[in-house]
Amino acid sequence: MRSVPHHATGDDQQPEPAKRGYQVEALAKGLRLLGLFSERRTSMKLTDMAAETGVPLPTAFRMAATLVGEGFLEQLPDGTYRPASKVLTLGFAALRSLDLVQLAEGPLRRLAEKTGETVNLGTLSEDRVTYLVRLRNNDLVTANIQVGSRLPAVNTSIGKMLLSDLDGEALGQRLTKASFSGAQGPNAIPSLARLRPVLARIRKQGWAAQDEELSHGLRSVAVPVRDSSGTMVAAANVAVPAMEFTPSRLVDEMLPPLRETCQEISRLLGGE
C-alpha cells in the first residue's frame, strides 16, 4: 500500500534554525572549499582558499590536509592544491546516475562505432554546456573535453542546438557579453546580435553545426534529444577533424546516423 506523505502543520513545523542545527559545520566548510575549484580555476593557493571560504588560515590548512589525506585534494610541488581522483569519481558517478545518460549511452556507443568519430551528449546549464557522455576517437586531438566539462554554449554545436529552443527574452536573460569571451576558435560568433539569426536557422532546420568556433581544427554537428513531453532535454553531436571533413561532408555523412541515434534516445525517454 502506498504511504501518504505527512504534511507538518501547526506545532509539527520545525523552524529554520532547528533544521540548520543538524548541519555539520566542519563538513560544510570542507565542501565549500572543494566548491572553489572549477574548469577555469584548477588549482589554488591555501591563502586564497582561506580568504574565499572565510575561515582562518590554520583551519583552512587542517581542512586541506584532511582532504588530501582522504584523496579529495592533492598538493602540487609549488604548494598549491587541486582536486584529486576521488572528486572526479564522485562527479562521474553523479552524472552517470542520470536516467538520460543510462538510456543514451548504448545508442551513442553504437553511433561512435559506426562512424568511427567522437560522439558527445550534453545539456544546457546557464550559458554553458555540461558534457554528460563523451566517446572519443583518439585521432581527435583538437579539444580537451571530458565528461563533466562545461564549455561556452555559443561556441559548440550542442550549445547552439539547445539555445535555439529558447525564445528571444529567455535567450537575452541567459547570455551576456561574458558568454562570448574566453577560449575560442577562429570562427567564433562574437555577439548575441550575430547569434540570433544563426539560432533561427538552426530552429528551422532542426540541427546545428560548429565550424572551428570552439577551437581550431574542430567541426561538429548536433541534433536534439527530446523527452515524452517533446521538451529538448539534451543534444548529441558528432565531432570530426576539420582537416578531414569539409562542412558539407560532415553534414552529408554524419547527420543521418546522428538523427537516427537521437530519435532512438528520444523514444527511450518516452518521446516520439
pLDDT single digits (tens) 71-128:
888 898 889 998 886 776 566 555 554 678 888 999 999 999 999 999 999 999 889 9
H helices within 97-245, ranges in order?
99-115, 157-163, 168-174, 192-205
Q: Decide: 156 and 188 in contact? Cβ < 8 Å.
A: no
pLDDT at site 258: 98
* Dist CA 133 CA 138 (whole Å): 16
Q: Decide: 247 and 269 in contact? Cβ < 8 Å.
A: no
Maximum C-alpha span of the chain: 70
Phi, psi of 159 (to 5 degrees): -65, -45
Q: Cell match 560568433: residue? A: 189
Q: Cell match 543514451: residue? A: 104
Tell me how many degrees the CA angle 212-37-67 measures, rounded to the nearest 5.
Answer: 140
DSSP 67-82: HHHTTSEEE-TTS-EE
Out of 15-24, 53-62, 156-165, least confident range: 15-24
pLDDT at site 40: 66
Mean local confidence (pLDDT), 201-223: 96
Exposure string of 138-155, with b = 16+ CB inside 10 Å and e = fewer, is eebebbebebbbbbbbbb
pLDDT at site 167: 87
Average pLDDT value over all residues in the chain? 84
Q: Which residues contact 226 (CB under 8 A, 6 or more apart)?
A: 232, 233, 266, 269, 271
* Dist CA 271 CA 264 (whole Å): 9
Domains in the chain with CATH codes: 15-89 (1.10.10.10), 98-268 (3.30.450.40)
Mean local confidence (pLDDT), 204-214: 96
The pTM of the whole model exceeds 0.85:
no
pLDDT at site 97: 47
Mean local confidence (pLDDT), 37-55: 84
Out of 30-39, 177-186, 208-217, least confident range: 30-39
Q: Decide: 137 and 167 in contact? Cβ < 8 Å.
A: no
* Dist CA 219 CA 93 (whole Å): 29
For residue 9, pLDDT beyond 70: no
* Dist CA 169 CA 146 (whole Å): 31
β-pair partners for 123: 130
